[in-house]
Structure 1
Amino acid sequence: MNELQITELNGQRVLTTQQIADGYGTTNKVISNNFNNNRTRFEEGKHFILLVGEYLKEFLHSQNLGTQNKIRKLYLWTEKGALLHAKSLGTDEAWDMYDILVDTYFKVQEEKQAPLTLDQQIAAIATGYGSVKEELVEVKDRVSDLEENAPLSAGEYNYIGSRINQRVAEVARGYGKITREQRGKLFKDINQGVKVVTGVSTRTQLRAKHFDTVVDFTNNWEPSTATKMQLRQMSFDFEE
């Protein structure tokens, strides 16, 4: 086991198909067939990394294998990938070698692996190791979405209603004495504005993400020109 060549990709130890075959006492073809027969069990980025194109060329060059131009794709197996192969093969030799790999080959990696540089992280995302990061981002986005789309709390809902009442009263004072019908026009105008800026049809559909928008709109709300003209006309009719 001490003679096993160290194979690393972006600071993480991996094994080639040949290394697994040699270690498990079998052939490349058996490993390939084992992979194809259990394809649904193997997850790219978790159990293996498939290198092709420029990434393959860079890897072969880093391993001083740049002259092997006939290679069109290369599978590299992670610790979890090596475990799946051991499970699938089920031989004593495979299990014995897997134990050795965990206790020496991959354990050394855990003890000595340094944090990835920014370039290495970018490369890792491109080659599959970024799947963990992508999953974390996805979870974070889901949590943010749940938080933003959560219904308003009772306190927030009551505050919006109270602030709308206050703002209507502030604007109404500018018209002097107004009737209940005129006040209703003001409420209709401001509520219509809330629907427009939030995209909801009723106030009960407001969500946490709408709170700041509604408060800001309410604080700066002024009746539309049409509503103002209606109020003036209603005042004239009231005086007559």
Structure 2
Amino acid sequence: MNELQITELNGQRVLTTQQIADGYGTTNKVISNNFNNNRTRFEEGKHFILLVGEYLKEFLHSQNLGTQNKIRKLYLWTEKGALLHAKSLGTDEAWDMYDILVDTYFKVQEQQAPLTLDQQIAAIATGYGSVKEELIEVKDRVSDLEENAPLSAGEYNYIGSRITQRVNEVAHGYSSITQKQRGELYKDINRGVKVVTGISTRTQLRAKHFDTAMDFINNWEPSTATKMQLRQTSFDFES
């Protein structure tokens, strides 16, 4: 268990299906069947995160798994998702391993969690230095923590769905559009999101970026270069 590879998404520790299968002493197929047989119990964003498309590519790249091009979708399981699998499987091995996961793998996040504002103010009030000056410093640090907090799974997925909607809105303005042309639109809008937020991959998005990213997506129009490329592609296709 000490050699279990750390898997994270937006600062949250998760487990792949393979990791759960290995830990619970079973196979990927059993975990997948368990999920399908108990589908109504599993809630996306709470028990699992489904990665597809650009999200999947960026995640695989961040985990140095970029060569696994055959993967079309990937389920990542949260601590609560791992618990549901243990409950559903009901084996002693699954329960034993879940206890270990809670005490080690997921426990680290709890230990690293920053103090709340009230806790930090209470600590300052015990008599270290000037309370007023310390309080200002704490508020600044808390504001920084809040701004740099990872996006929630819901926010992350919402940005992705809004990008898809916006691309479809723009694509609708063309009489016809090929899959290749649609891909150029996705490249353009994703490139713009990275530029305005100052990130290199979408998995680096933080809470402070959300409003900026959404404002850009809602008002996005393809660049002149992309529009010219689309027209040239249409010309070549018609020829």
Instruction: Sort the TM-score into its range (normalised by shorter chain).
Output: 0.3 to 0.5
Identity percentage over the alignment?
92
1:71-108 deviations in Å (ceiling 9; x for gaps): 00000000000000000000000000000000000000
Q: Quick one: structure 1 residues 94 and 197, their matched pair in 2 at CA, closer, same or farther if it must change by over 3 Å? A: closer
Q: Deviations over 1:191-225 (max 9, x none)?
A: 99999999999999999999999999999999999
Q: CA 1:188 to 1:137, structure 2 compared with 1: closer, same or farther past 3 Å? A: same
Question: Which 4+ residue blocks in structure 1 deviate beyond 6 angstroms?
Answer: 114-240
- The answer on whether the counterparts of 1:44 and 1:128 sit within 8 Å (CA) in structure 2 is no
CA contact (8 A) 1:50 1:127 kept: no
In structure 2, the gaps of 5 or more residues are none
Shift in Å, 1:19: 0.1
Q: Mark the structure with the bigger radius of gyration.
A: 1
Encode CA deviations 1:123-159: one digit per residue, 9 max, x unaligned: 9999999999999999999999999999999999999
Distance apart, 1:110 and its partner CA: 1.6
The worse-fitting range, judged by mean Cα deviation, of 160-169 and 131-140 is 160-169
Deviations 1:14-47 (A, max 9, x none): 0000000000000000000000000000000000
Q: Give the drift of 1:109.
A: 1.5
In structure 2, the CA distance between the partners of 1:39 and 1:236, relative to structure 1 (3 Å rule), is closer
RMSD: 23.4
Q: Which runs of 5+ in 1 are unaligned?
A: none
Structure 1 window deviating more from structure 2 (40-49 vs 167-176): it is 167-176
Superposed CA deviations along residues 155-185 of structure 1, whole A, max 9, x for unmatched, are 9999999999999999999999999999999
- SS for the counterpart of 1:175 is coil
How many residues are treated as equivalent by the alignment? 239
What's the counterpart of residue 84 of structure 1? 84
For the structure 1 residues 63 and 119, does the alpha-carbon distance in structure 2 shift closer, same or farther, using more than 3 Å as the test? farther
Q: CA separation of 1:11/1:117 partners in 2, compared to 1, >3 Å: closer, same or farther?
A: farther
Aligned to 2:226: 227
Q: 1:129 — aligned with what?
A: 128
- Distance in structure 1 (CA, Å) of the matches to 2:203 and 2:62: 61
* TM-score, reference length from structure 2: 0.48
TM-score normalised to the size of structure 1? 0.48
Question: C-alpha separation between the residues in 2 aligned to 1:178 and 1:36?
Answer: 36
Alpha-carbon distance change, 129 to 69 in structure 1, aligned in 2, over 3 angstroms: farther
> What is the CA–CA distance in structure 1 between the aligned matches of 2:69 and 2:188, rounded to whole Å?
73
Q: Whole-Å Cα distance in 2 between the matches of residues 201 and 13 of structure 1? A: 21
